[in-house]
Structure 1
């Protein structure tokens, strides 16, 4: 399982760093202009904290795989992370509109990759919990 946690940890750190390009990629300067100041700032702050927690999840997987796999606390943490990523998988299926990706090659590929990744991450954490 250590190799799986290393893969997940590396992916999560990259994912966290990718969040830094969101404002430019999604053209937030223009897109969020119509929002109130509090809503604009909440988008920025929440994106930062999501990236931060994803980064720390990745760092934890890379630096503490033995503790996650072998200790009771690690197994409880694995269950919590499994639940977190299962909810994220659910959102990928049922919250994001298919209008965002259907008929668009790049977006469809990204959608499928995330479905696979959220499933993989969820299953690894679930298996660790039950080992």
Structure 2
């Protein structure tokens, strides 16, 4: 396994872990109790967005596991690599804006999002012609 497929396999594991983490949001954040303070529509939006995001993480994992050759050898694949990396960079920026950097958990998430971006930026740059 060369460097790019190894990074993409790690990216698949990363996205699988993030997807599973998102499935536990109801329990971790006590959504059954905490979301009751929201209106019905806002409660639905939060949960739907989480489930759609979870689905996309499973898709990213699947693509990383089963289409790594296409990701590093085609223009569309490189676009997908760059898009995934940019997603995690955006998530990192939003983490700092909305949560700050005062708590250890925020710093941990910043590290996690940096890893997520790196797992796709490195193969992207490595695969450029």
Relative to the length of structure 2, the TM-score reads 0.84
Measure how far apart 1:93 and its partner are: 2.1
Structure 2 unmatched runs, 5+: none
Give the paired residue count.
123
Q: Which of these residues, 70, 73, 80, is aligned with residue 70 of structure 1?
A: 73
After TM superposition, the structure 1 = structure 2 runs for residues 1-131 of structure 1, keeping only pairs within 5 Å, are 1-98=4-101, 102=103, 108=104, 110-130=105-125, 131=128
Please give the alpha-carbon distance, in whole angstroms, between the structure 1 residues aligned to 2:91 and 2:35: 24
Which structure exhibits the higher relative contact order, with contacts defined as CA atoms closer than 8 Å and separated by 6 or more residues? 2
Measure how far apart 1:23 and its partner are: 0.9
Does the residue aligned with 1:33 lie in a helix, a strand or coil?
A: helix
List structure 1 segments (4+ residues) > 4 angstroms apart after TM superposition. none
